[in-house]
Amino acid sequence: MRSYKLLVTLGLAAATVVGCGDLSAPGGGHVRDDDTAERARRVAAAWEGSEVARAWQRDYYLLGDAVQLPDGAFHNDADKRAYATRNFDLRTPLPDAPKKPGRIRWTDGEALTLPLTSARAAYDKLDRGESPGPALTVTGARLGDMTVLTSRGKATVPAWLFTVKGYDTPLKHIAVTPPKLPRPPIGAVQQETDELVPLHGLNTVAQDGRTLTVLAKHGACDDGPAVDVLETEGSVVLSASIRGTSDGPCTSQSLAKKVTVRLRRPVGDRILLDAFTGRPVPPHRQAARPTQ
């Protein structure tokens, strides 16, 4: 197994690769190294019945993006660049956080109340650019809601709705902060190899809950990433690897591709885990989304 060190990300490349197959079952979609398969089983076993797993299913942990863009975003390259560099121009007063708590509502009828953040706090997470280039102009802000994917399934959460000049629908940002996840029950792998690398994050989950799109690492001189699956009763462990690496000269680039993973049954309330880190797969932020 050749060691494969991924350096600082210099670019992202978009593609779709299908990687599926239960690591625990013979004849899966991708034949994996025995050590990698064992790692996935260890991660699943560590989380099964753990206190952190109970917290994951009890509390509110965001799996989707904290931001939802306006319909039709973006109209032009200037707006795309403005959002990619997080360059905003505020042309309106921002409301304070309401004194009453916000209510998170799941589709099964369960609910949870948490303090609301202010519009200023949400805006400051959006506007991080200091570039003299193009900017998105915000002309209004009000409290509303948005639907997001959480560790307990889809939920309607309070959100700040920012009016963006030139767009008919608002840009939304969640107005409740998820709690910090407790220490995971298993540590990360110490070294990246071709057979196991960390994922960039979760990109999308299809309506049926059986098709996931994740962003996986690879380099400039290989055949791209693959992602394999170990499905258990309480978790879905994703193991990312790099296919067809070359021993010849190669530029020091870390790229990423979208990988579509199909499950045998909907993810539901199972925990989506990264075999490398031993942690839940984080949401992939829109600011770093690869160019289509």
Tokens of 104: 């998170």
Show which of 154, 174, 194 is a domain's final residue: 174
% residues pLDDT > 70 (the chain): 79
Give the residue, 222 or 158, on which the prediction is more confident. 158
Show which of 122, 143, 174 is a domain's final residue: 174
Co-location of 205 and 163 in the same domain: no
Give the residue, 40 or 1, on which the prediction is more confident. 40
Peptide bond into 88 cis (omega under 30): no
Does the pLDDT value for residue 266 go beyond 50? yes
Domain, as residue range, for 108:
67-174
Co-location of 164 and 202 in the same domain: no
> How confident is the model over 87-104, as a mean pLDDT?
93
What Cα–Cα distance (Å) separates residue 144 from each residue in 94, 95, 159, 191, 193?
14, 12, 5, 44, 45
Show which of 134, 155, 174 is a domain's final residue: 174
Residue 233, in any domain of the structure: yes
Domain with 85 in it: what CATH number?
A: 2.40.128
Co-location of 73 and 51 in the same domain: no
Phi first, then psi, for residue 39 (nearest 5°) are -60, -45
Tokens of 135: 């900017």
Residue 29, in any domain of the structure: yes
Residue 85, in any domain of the structure: yes
For residue 7, give the nearest of 203, 215, 188, 221 by alpha carbon: 221
Q: Tell me: the pLDDT tens digits for 171-181?
A: 999 999 888 87
Q: Tell me: the pLDDT tens digits for 205-235?
A: 888 889 989 888 755 566 678 899 999 999 9
Give the strand pairing for 255-262 and 211-218.
antiparallel
Domain count, the chain: 2
Give the residue, 127 or 201, on which the prediction is more confident. 127
